[in-house]
Amino acid sequence: MKYSLCIGAYEGKDVIYHLEKIKSHGFHGLEYYNWWDLDLHDIAREQERIGVGISATCTSFFNLVDSGQRERYVQGIKDTIVACSILGAKSIITQTGNVIEDIPRDKQRETMIETLKICAPLCEEAGVTLEIEPMNGLVDHRGHFLQYSDEAVSILEQVNSPNVKLVFDVYHQQITEGNVIRNATGFSDYINHYHIADNPGRQQPGTGELNYVNILKAIKDTGYTGFIGLECGYTIDPDEAIDHFKQSIVSRVEC
């Protein structure tokens, strides 16, 4: 498996600083969300110099449940695909938007499926994967439409594209549904990459209730070889936290 950090791991530091830290830690990628803030060609040159790059970014507009926003959403995907081609990023993360109170949930779900079906061939042609992300509505994202992993998979089954998949965020799914190992492995065919953080607090693995040795071993046992992204805060110096994560968790997973 490959490991990535998310922008903000080193508070106040820029992309280049993060990439150099990722290289020094022996990790494999950076998740940078707002690609539109970057000089893309400059970052591409720096990635080549450093030897590690941006592995995932976000689309520039989040709303999959409002049919009136479909054109804007699809244009955002097109723009993000162009950015990915410059950066060499292979994953585009999307949220779904919040529930629209006066529209039936089934109608919003169908809107999402139809929009993803429009985006699927664009992603297939570009060789990038669009990842929908369920997020918890209890603590961090009240009202977010997509929260449960089984519903996400049922949507992906209808879209039926190898380039539209799921980012499984262990932190979010622990809060929303628990049953983490069963869902993280049982839905592995639909998962393109994983986010990890501990709960409660969304801090680095090892600070809360989640047994990340067991979780990551179970994911590895499915044959998964993609990215595990540390999307978390840090209770101590990030370098110390990452070193501890490698020594106490990664080394036991990879042995």
Annotated catalytic sites, by residue?
A: 133, 231
- Measured CA to CA, the distance from residue 32 to residue 87 in angstroms comes to 11
- Angle separating helix axes 70-87 and 40-50, nearest 10 degrees: 40
Buried b (16+ CB within 10 A) or exposed e, 148-180: ebeebbebbeebebebbbbbbbbbbbbbbbeeb
CB 90 within 8 A of CB 84: yes
Q: Which residue has the tokens 């969300």?
A: 33
The torsion of the CA quartet 19, 25, 28, 30, rounded to 10 degrees, works out to -40
Could you tell me how many residues make up the chain?
A: 255
- Measured CA to CA, the distance from residue 61 to residue 75 in angstroms comes to 9
Tell me the backbone φ, ψ of residue 146, rounded to 5 degrees: -95, 115
CB 176 within 8 A of CB 137: yes
* Residues sharing a CB contact under 8 Å with residue 90, sequence separation 6 or more, in sequence order: 55, 56, 84, 127, 128, 129
